[in-house]
Structure 1
């Protein structure tokens, strides 16, 4: 009988806690899901209509592995306008979602055993992609009292002779923290002095509330050592189309293209045509989405701050609220499961985002205000019951 041997890197991974919470709720009635980061808005109709028209006109075949030439040209223009640095189509790569860019980048950059600095709390998928590329994640904690903004001195202390890459995620998932310019300046200085390559995950860059978004890519000397990852998923409510893209140093992109070529061949041709249509959408539609997210975040923060023993720092961006429940319990998994079972509300336990996320829960403000209000009522009722025990 054959003995099946599973890769240790896969065995060591746990299944996505975010997906697990959704699975628990799948067969329950009257559930309000505030778990997965899925905008409840449908893709704007003009994008769908144009993509379908292009599909009927024959855009249903493989594209070049790098991407549809017309889309690459437009994305280069967008990147140039957004950064003030000339980005050429040859230094842009269209990928199967933002995660396609991340995995291709890590496989391109890492040798077995290389260290990757990762600010915690962090998007859980980073751990898997680092492991698949043979790297080792070195976690650097950010703190509630600092608004979950990473401190440059903490990052520098974590650097070893094996450190090769730093992953920055701003606006951050799960905390919503947006790294301010002066911190980016300091981190850029560290990256240059220690010869680090930076992967800047900016998929929430259009959902920023209190200050203009800034990228480490624009800092002096950083364009040559930074890969910027963006996506249409959150900004244009296009999660199912699976289109992301990235841009960075030409030498890096030439090598990343090999990984994309052999792993996915190319991104969806129809999805790429949808992305092209998305670039022509009326900007006011995107602004309306952002404003609705902002109102939802304000509502949830106000409701949670009024609850005993819950602390919330208003996020600077994204549509997430990362609430500290440690005065009630540090067992975030137990808290989330009991909340689901008793009150039919899905949240994500903070431990899913790293050890420093324990004692917190992530709430995705991706439902309308009425449902969010109802969910907050249920959480308040749950807290009343929980704290009587």
Structure 2
């Protein structure tokens, strides 16, 4: 692969810009994760309706991830990134105009389209910019921009709603998205001819399906699907859970998780050099599963903070490792499609998870819901052990 810039340098202008754009756009999206259920309730909707409106973002994104991955590998990254951010800008502007449950559902669906375009474009561009010898380290840093918004976004959203109301929430998201949109025009434009000199990048759907048959793509994607599916119940309903349990300061869950996530990501290069990868993955999944189990029995703020710390430790270590496995399993000219498949697994997880957990919480309560979340975490561990077993068999053959 040929990419303009210093090949051995990680912190280039474009890499800094991609990180900044991702951080701003994802923060705008995640400010709604903990607040939309409250907004739906204010508009007269139920927990199940709230789960559907939160979850439709991921479901709509699913149908666009793979086509976007194909377009990225054929036509380049920057144009599609700007288009995705433009859709988000318009969507957030309209959220303050139309304030009904039906329109909220439709605008969240459109928001999922814009988010799928910008997120897949940014992640693929980041992978292009990272030198191969620094792939896992670079992805660890980039994943800070992806993960921290999931921690501070809901906290910011709750703080804004509590002090200024829901209209201010959508204005904040609009401001963040507009800054990201402007920054996207300062990125160096790259086309497939410069990205993959001498490599044929056509193939469309057939090539995309071949990527999905690659175990190095499907297994990590499935593991992250199970983890994020479980965590969607935490992100979407932690505020309502805390209110029901009469726990004050639930927003600190996101604060602590954010701090732990950043610390672990900065330590990640040292961890990769000193800790066996399989042990790191297994211990990360166990830590995540334990956090869900603690939430199931939480009755005070200390339990919430302990769960936040364990989840932050586990997820901050797991995501960049899984992403690295995916990118090391495919050709350079397949990065857009592979990133789309990997990202789609997270979309479906957060989308479908929020819908399912809303129904389970309504029928059985949050205690049972979080126990199920822990079960999904343990299922992810079984999937990884199966993946390792298959890899060893292949190497013997």
Mark the structure with the bigger radius of gyration.
Answer: 1
Taking CA–CA contacts closer than 8 Å with sequence separation of 6 or more, which of the two structures ends up with the larger relative contact order? 2
Q: TM-score, normalised by structure 2?
A: 0.29
